[in-house]
Structures are given as C-alpha cells and as structure tokens.
Amino acid sequence: MSQPQQPMTHLLADYRPYPFTLKATALEFHLASQSTRVIARLSLVPKADAGGQDMVLDGGSELELRALTINGQEPDPRMVMREGETLTIRAAALPAEPFVLETEVQIDPSANTACEGLYISGGMFCTQCEAEGFRHITFYPDRPDVMAPFDVTIHSDKPVLLSNGNPVQREAGLARWQDPWPKPAYLFALVAGDLVAISDSFTTMSGRKVALNVWVRPGDEDRAGFAMESLIKSMKWDEEVYGREYDLDVFNIVAVDDFNMGAMENKGLNIFNSKLVLASPETATDGDYERIEGVIAHEYFHNWTGNRITCRDWFQLCLKEGLTVFRDQQFTSDMRSAPVKRITDVQALRARQFREDQGPLAHPVRPDHYEEINNFYTATIYEKGAEVIGMLRQLVGEEGYRKALDLYFDRHDGDAATIEDWLQVFEDATGRDLTQFKRWYTDAGTPHVEMHEDWNADDGRLTLTLRQSTPPTPGQQDKPPRVIPFAVGLIGPNGQEVAATRVLELTEAEQSFTFDGLGARPVVSALRGFSAPVILKREIDDATRAFLLAHDSDPFARWEAGRDLALSALTALAQGRDGGEDYVAAIGQLAGDDQADPAFRALCLNLPGEEEIATRLTASGVTPDPDAIHAAREDLARRMAEAHTDLLAGLYDSMVVKGPYSPDSDSAARRALRIAALGLLNRIDGGDRAEVLFGIAGNMTERMAALSCLIRRGRGQAALTAMADQFADNRLVMDKWFAVQPMAAPPAEAAAIAARLARRPDFDWKNPNRFRSLLGGLAANHAGFHAADGSGYDFTADWLMKMDKANPQISARMSTAFETWPRYDAGRRAAALAALNRMAEMEGISRNLREMVSRMIA
Ligand code: ARG
Ligand code: ZN
C-alpha cells in the first residue's frame, strides 16, 4: 500500500543552483522486461562556492539500489541515506576534488503503467523523461539546469537500439550512442524494439548531410511518409526563417502507441504518440494531417528552443513551450493559410485557455508555485505563452524581434535560461523597457477591454476610449494594468477602409485615442488579428456586425464579426428570447461568396460550440443551462439549413475534391466547406446525404463527418458496425470510433453510451489514447457531460479514480473536464462537487490528481 503523500509545494523563490557541476554522464542499460539494470557513472566537480554541501540525488522509491561507489570505493553506509524520492550522500563522504559517482539500480519496466521513465509499449522499450521521469530510471540530479554530455550503452537483443546523439558502436546485442551536446536528464531517451524505418536525408545550410529516420512497427511503414515530409519542411523552414541549423549526424523519430502527451523533443531522438506520426487517407483526417505537420515541426524546433537553450527550472517552462508553439504557429501559417491558422488558433485559445483562466485552475504563464509540475503542461503555458510572444513581436516590430532572437541564440546557447533572460534580450536588442510587459508572465487571468466610441461630426473626429481590467484569479486579487497592443482599423460607410491598421498601446487602466479628418462616422474594426488575448466588450448592434462580416479587410476581425453575430443569437435563444435573423441572412451572403476562401467560409458556417456559448453567457452574468444551449444551437442550425437549402446543397455538391486524396490545405479547405454544409443539411434531410457519403467516401475526413452526422440523426448503427469490422486492428481509427459516439450522442444518453463502450473488451483503458478518446468524447458533449442527473460527472469520476492507480498524469489531465463546474446551477454544482469530493477522499490518491482536485474544490 502506498503511503499517503504529504502535499509539498515547490516555490520559484526557493531556486538554488546545484552545488556540483556534472561534467559527463555515462549510462549502461541491461534491458530485460522485468529486471533492467542501469549503471550510471557521473563525473562530478564540487562547486568552489558551495563547499561542504551534501549531494542530493533524485530517485523514485521503486529504484532498487544495488551498488554505489565514489571513485571506485564504497562509502560508509551511514553516509548514504534514502528518504522518499531522494538519495543523499553526506558531504563528509565526498572528495573535494573531481570524482566519479557510480550507481547500479534495478527497475521493472513491465510494471510501469504510468508511461513515465522506462516502460514498455507494444513490446518495445521506450522512455518519457520530461518533466521528472529520469529519476525513475536512475539516481540523478534530475533538474533542467544540470546538463552533461551523455554516453549510453544499451545491451539488448532487440533488433533496433536507439538513444540520443550519434551512433558510435553497434554489434550483436549492443549499441552505443554519444550525445556531445550537454543536456538535462529530461531530454534523455532510449528505444529498443522490433522497428522498421523509413529513411531520408537532409543537407543543412552549411552542407552537412543528416540521416533522417521515422521508426514505426513493421506494417506501418506506408503511413509514415507524411511525417518524414513534414520533418524535412521543418528543418528547411528553421534555417530560412530563424537561421537555425541541425547539429547531429542523425535525427530519429519513433512512434509509440502508449504515450501520455503528443510528442517529446528528446535530443536527436524525438518520441511521438503514434497518432501524430501515422497517417493514410483511409485512416487520418485532414485535421490529423495538419496536426502531424505542426507537431513534427514543434518537436523539431525544440532542438534550438528547448534543447540548445533550455529552462533553468520548471517554473520557466513557457520559455521553451510558449516560444516553440509560437514558432510552430508561424510555420503552419507559412505552409497553409495564415488567416485560417490565426482564426483556428484563437478558437482553440478561447476554448481551452480562456476557460482555464476563468476558473479555479487559473495560473500565470510563469507560475510561482506548484505541487506536481506535470499538471502545468497547460493551455496557459503553451498557448497563452505563445500569444505573449506574438504581442512582444508586435510591440518591437518584425525587425526588433529578429534582432532579439539572434541575440537570444547567441547569448544563451548552452544555457539553462529564465524569462528574465528572455526579456533582457528584447530590452538589449530594441532598447524598449519591458517592466510592465512582464506582467503577462506573472499575472494570471484574461483582461477585459471595454471600448467606447465618441463621434464628433463637426470635427470629423472619432475618439476611442479603452478601459482595461482583469478579474481576480486564485491567489491574485489585484491586477494592475498591462501593456496591451490593440490593433484597430476604420471602415467607411461604403465598406472601404478609411484608416489602415494601427496598433494602439494600452498601458493604463483607461486611455483615449483619436482619429481625425474623417468625412463620415466610420465603423471600428477592433482587435484586428486578435492582437492581444483579451475579452473585448463594445457597444455594437447586429447590423454593424453584419456590416463588418461583409466588409472588414482583416480576416480575423471579419470572422469575429460573424462569430459575435452567432453568439448574440445563440445566447438570446438559450435564454428563451428571439434571435438569429441577422446571422442567418448574413451567413447566406458569405457562404455564397465564391471569391472568399472555402476554408474561411467553412469557419463562418460552423456555429460556436455549446461550451463557447456557455462561456459567453457566464461572462455576461447568466448561469448557463446546458440543455437550453443545446436546443438553441440545434434550432439555429436547422433555421440556417432551411433558409439556405439550395445554396448549401450546391456547396455540398460542388466542393467535391476530384482525383486521389491529398492533404494539402486547398483540398482540405474544400472538404471543410463541404462538411460544414453537410452538417447543416443533416438537420433537415434526415441523414440521407450522410448515409450516401459514408458509403462512398474515399477518405477518413468525409467518413468521420458522415458518421458523426448519422449518429446525430440516430441512424449511426450500421455505419459504426461497418467501421468496427473494417478497422478492428487499427487502434487509431478505433480511437475515433470510441470518441465520436459519446460526443455525437443525444445529451441524455451520452453517459450511458460511454458506460456501455467502457465494458467492451477493446476498451483498453490503460492505453492513454483509448482512455482519452472515450472520456474526452463524453467531456466534449457539453450537455451530456453536464447532464442534470450527474451521470456524466459520476462516470468520469469513477474512471479517473481507476486510472489514477495506473497513470496519474492521465487522471490528473482528464480531471480538467470539471474545471468549469462553479458556473452552473446549484443542482449541477452539488453533483459535480460530490464527484470531486469522492476523488479527493480516495485512498492513495496520486499527488497529480490530488493537486488538481484540491485546486478545483478550493
Ligand atoms: N515537451 C513536450 C512538448 O511539448 C511535452 C512533454 C510533456 N510531458 C509530460 N509528461 N509532462 O513538446
Ligand atoms: Zn513543446
């Protein structure tokens, strides 16, 4: 029985450098599924200014220590102490000169269900060390500011043996790898298995040839090509745009089936969740292809932003993640449509990060305390972290950004850096004072910006008054004003732009800006490009929104006008009022505009999700009723279909993409518009089109769309059976199959459907993807998860408690389904709180889940 762990809070303010320098790390693995031996030889030098300190090493309580020597000698056993997750060697037993510490431990990868440290997935040995997994492999100063070159020898009879760096030796049963670039333990990786590679090469800008491999299980080779193409594009892009060259002889990517996150940037050996590597037209959707391209790029880009320059401590996580997300967003904008990428990024930010920021789990982009760091791989650190960099770039300009980044790479290559270091390079490169800007890193919460317009007809002058305020978040009551880049343009009554985009800099709680020389009152196009992650409140009527939707030259602001129109209709309908006339009319105009990008039209035709409607209602002080929201959205979709039947049917027919499937963005855009039309028509054609499409579609994008439509019409059974028969052996397709059923189910049945699916023998719940599919599918059904009878909450809590014993990272992550609970009615709140309390009181609850639940209950 595991001991109840005491909460232990880590504080940013407690940072102290490690008192020893680690010069080199040599590891020897003798792999066996139940008893792997790991020998670690650490070359250490006591730091001059830290004389006389004990050496504390991290190491999980499950490590079985078999030998420990210092310079080949066993120390007095009283000098070595194990306590909890650490091993301490008394200063008295340590030489004052450089010395070698050697340990040997035994571990049992077959018993490791947490997908952290060394574990087995589908018969293959693999590792996941970020953030603190390495301590489950051997005793080590497992912290990002302790870096060393690694020399790794693997003994195993598996055919493929991989680690970081370059291969230096290979013989029967043995492989040796050396990584010359000093790195922290979290970037260590090892893979041993029966794998096959698709291979290619890349010649870097200085003419070095790099061998590239994507390793998959035999049989999956024909689905790895797109990942390889994406890697090559990423390597080229990072040279062209950031001047960053790859720095080893080989770059390996490995796909594994059991993985807690998306992927991991281990030096020279990226390990991926197989769903972010494997793709074929029959098994992957356009969305999957785009994500694969983006995540391959993200992990590759970490080689400079994360690996060559890493984080001093885990509080600085956004230093590498925010920047790397920003870079992968730029990459995708360059590869595909920049406006569409911006709009979908904002949608995701609002759905995940705004939601987080408004609830009990709100935290700053750079937190100052945590109990379990794995709970902080959040939308705030990643996506808001990227937004903050986007704002910085607007404030210093493209040129300034480029200069600052060059300085960053120059000055900090090889460092474990901080947000202070990051801001300093911008100050030094551009001369700009970023003291106030830093609040974006230290203060949680989403600012509200109120915009007030004053029109003086006599002088032809428009005055904009902008007020900012940020609601309190846990532990942070007062929020001083921030620097907010607020991009505006003006549009004349005839639809022509009369003032091009200008970025206003808000620095005070209230400020006014004037625009002169205007002939007639213009319409303000505000927060263009979503220039800052804020909630904009303005006085505006539906007619003006429709005008912006028709005329705004800024694609984001144009889309936003349509979005606001939809939300204004939906929130009215959800409260039993009328609404939607203007939206339905405007959307007809736009959908029929053949000049507009199909992807953009698809984005405008897709109604905001129920969760987003609930968020909007909450923001205006109304308690959201999930059932009323569901009904309102169905009603508006049906009215759109009725009002524009011919137009939508025409789009559905004409947006067919002929010829063999290609995941390129133009083809994907046409499919997206076709599917958007289908989704609306499905409300009035009884599912007939979807049934035909499901039968003939040659790609997974259209098949999944058709399947979801059929389920919504209550006629999905035959299609579900057909798909399960066809793809029983394909985990990734079956994950979609598990997800779509609770997601598209009628809300009242969603939890029961999820429960029925959970009883199937192929609900392999310890597989993180399968678990996420089912529980995530239910959580994505807003009215289903929040069913008034508490069935969604209970089902979810039961499974989180079960999962917590096997894989605490997953139970903790999925518990965020509950994070909005305080905003609902008393009945739902009581049911959600009961479920949260049940988890909190569970015996042996993990540190991960306990932290999450206690923050949500607090
Ligand atoms: N650094 C990885 C990425 O964003 C994420 C890995 C996090 N894993 C974890 N178990 N917390 O690319
Ligand atoms: Zn990352």
Which of 129, 377, 851 for a ligand 1 pocket mutation test, highest count of atoms within 8 Å of Cβ?
377
Residue with CA at minimum distance from ligand 1 atom 2: 264
Catalytic residue (one of 265, 299, 610, 691): 299
Q: Is the CB of 265 under 6 A from ligand 1?
A: yes
Q: Is the CB of 323 under 6 A from ligand 1?
A: no
On whether the CB atoms of residues 312 and 249 are closer than 8 A, the answer is no
Backbone phi, psi, residue 444, to 5° = -80, 170
CA gap 379, 387 in Å, rounded = 11
Q: How far is the CA of 321 from the centre of ligand 2 (A)?
A: 5
Average pLDDT rounded to a whole number, residues 151-168: 98
Interacting residues of 53 by C-beta distance below 8 A, sequence separation 6+: 19, 46, 91
CA gap 627, 40 in Å, rounded = 58
Rg (CA), the chain: 28
> Catalytic residue at 610?
no
**In this model, does residue 63 exceed pLDDT 90?**
yes
Which of 129, 264, 381 for a ligand 1 pocket mutation test, highest count of atoms within 8 Å of Cβ?
264
ipTM of the complex: 0.98
Q: Beta-strand (E) ranges in 399-522?
A: 416-417, 448-456, 461-469, 484-491, 497-506, 510-515
Q: Beta-strand (E) ranges in 344-469?
A: 369-370, 416-417, 448-456, 461-469
Q: Is the CB of 36 under 6 A from ligand 1?
A: no
CA gap 600, 248 in Å, rounded = 41
Ligand 1 atom at minimal distance to the Cα of residue 298: 12
- Side chain identity, residue 697: A
Residue with CA at minimum distance from ligand 1 atom 5: 264
* 315-334 pLDDT, tens digit each: 999 999 999 999 999 999 99
Q: How far is the CA of 89 from the centre of ligand 2 (A)?
A: 34
Ligand 1 atom at minimal distance to the Cα of residue 373: 11
Confidence of residue 6 (pLDDT cuts 50, 70, 90): low
Confidence of residue 231 (pLDDT cuts 50, 70, 90): very high
CA atoms within 13 A of residue 306's CA, in its CB half-sphere: 27
Mean residue pLDDT across the chain: 97
**DSSP of 289-328, one letter per residue?**
HHHHHHHHHHHHHTTTBTTTBEESSGGGHHHHHHHHHHHH
Q: Is the CB of 130 under 6 A from ligand 1?
A: yes
Which tokens go with 25?
């790390």
- Side chain identity, residue 152: V
* 399-422 pLDDT, tens digit each: 999 999 999 999 999 999 999 999
* 351-375 pLDDT, tens digit each: 999 999 999 999 999 999 999 999 9
**In this model, does residue 4 exceed pLDDT 70?**
no
Q: Is the CB of 383 under 6 A from ligand 1?
A: no
Q: In whole angstroms, how far apart are CA 581 and each of 17, 551, 557, 565, 585?
A: 63, 19, 21, 10, 6
Which of 127, 130, 136 for a ligand 1 pocket mutation test, highest count of atoms within 8 Å of Cβ?
130
Confidence of residue 7 (pLDDT cuts 50, 70, 90): confident
**How far is residue 18 CA from its own chain's centroid?**
31
Q: How far is the CA of 213 from the centre of ligand 1 (A)?
A: 21
Output DSSP code: residue 473.
B
**In this model, does residue 502 exceed pLDDT 50?**
yes
Ligand sitting nearest the alpha carbon of 186: 1
* 574-613 pLDDT, tens digit each: 999 999 999 999 999 999 999 999 999 999 999 999 999 9
Q: How far is the CA of 624 from the centre of ligand 2 (A)?
A: 34
Ligand sitting nearest the alpha carbon of 263: 1
Interacting residues of 775 by C-beta distance below 8 A, sequence separation 6+: 754, 796, 799, 800, 814, 817
Average pLDDT rounded to a whole number, residues 77-102: 97
Interacting residues of 567 by C-beta distance below 8 A, sequence separation 6+: 608, 612, 613, 616
Q: Is the CB of 261 under 6 A from ligand 1?
A: yes
Interacting residues of 439 by C-beta distance below 8 A, sequence separation 6+: 480, 482, 483
**In this model, does residue 259 exceed pLDDT 50?**
yes
Q: How far is the CA of 323 from the centre of ligand 2 (A)?
A: 9
Report the SS3 class of residue 669.
Answer: helix
Residues in the chain: 858
On whether the CB atoms of residues 12 and 313 are closer than 8 A, the answer is yes
CA gap 320, 207 in Å, rounded = 28
Ligand sitting nearest the alpha carbon of 262: 1
Ligand sitting nearest the alpha carbon of 377: 1
Q: How far is the CA of 272 from the centre of ligand 1 (A)?
A: 10
- Side chain identity, residue 438: K
**In this model, does residue 15 exceed pLDDT 90?**
yes
Which of 119, 261, 813 for a ligand 1 pocket mutation test, highest count of atoms within 8 Å of Cβ?
261
Q: What's residue 51's pLDDT?
A: 76
Q: Is the CB of 131 under 6 A from ligand 1?
A: yes
Report the SS3 class of residue 73.
Answer: strand
Q: How far is the CA of 751 from the centre of ligand 1 (A)?
A: 30
Ligand 1 atom at minimal distance to the Cα of residue 302: 12
CA gap 690, 697 in Å, rounded = 10
Q: Is the CB of 189 under 6 A from ligand 1?
A: no
Q: How far is the CA of 197 from the centre of ligand 1 (A)?
A: 24
Ligand 1 atom at minimal distance to the Cα of residue 115: 10
On whether the CB atoms of residues 270 and 256 are closer than 8 A, the answer is no
| Dihedral over Cα of 787, 790, 791, 795: its sign | positive
Residue with CA at minimum distance from ligand 1 atom 7: 130
Task: For residue 746, count CB atoms less than 10 angstroms from its CB and return exposed for 0-12, middle for 13-18, buried for 19 or more.
Answer: middle
Angle of helix 581-591 relative to helix 542-551, nearest 10 degrees? Answer: 10
Number of alpha helices (DSSP H) and beta strands (DSSP E) in the chain: 28, 30
CA gap 813, 493 in Å, rounded = 49
Q: How far is the CA of 542 from the centre of ligand 1 (A)?
A: 43
Q: Considering the entire predicted model, what is its pTM?
A: 0.98
Output DSSP code: residue 374.
G
Residue with CA at minimum distance from ligand 1 atom 3: 264
Average pLDDT rounded to a whole number, residues 235-241: 99
Look up tokens 């994406």; give the residue. Answer: 230
CA gap 562, 568 in Å, rounded = 10
Q: Is the CB of 377 under 6 A from ligand 1?
A: yes
Q: In whole angstroms, how far apart are CA 332 and each of 204, 234, 555?
A: 21, 10, 17
* 703-749 pLDDT, tens digit each: 999 999 999 999 999 999 999 999 999 999 999 999 999 999 999 99
Q: What's residue 1's pLDDT?
A: 34
**In this model, does residue 50 exceed pLDDT 90?**
no
CA gap 133, 125 in Å, rounded = 14
Ligand sitting nearest the alpha carbon of 375: 1
Confidence of residue 2 (pLDDT cuts 50, 70, 90): very low
Percentage of the chain exceeding pLDDT 90: 98
Residue with CA at minimum distance from ligand 1 atom 8: 130
Q: Is the CB of 332 under 6 A from ligand 1?
A: no
Residue with CA at minimum distance from ligand 1 atom 6: 264
Output DSSP code: residue 97.
S
User: Which of 217, 337, 809 shows the shortest CA–CA distance to 603?
Assistant: 337
Q: Is the CB of 809 under 6 A from ligand 1?
A: yes
**Rama region for 76: left / alpha / beta (φ>0; ψ in -120 to 50; rest):** beta
**How far is residue 469 CA from its own chain's centroid?**
27
| Dihedral over Cα of 608, 609, 611, 617: its sign | positive
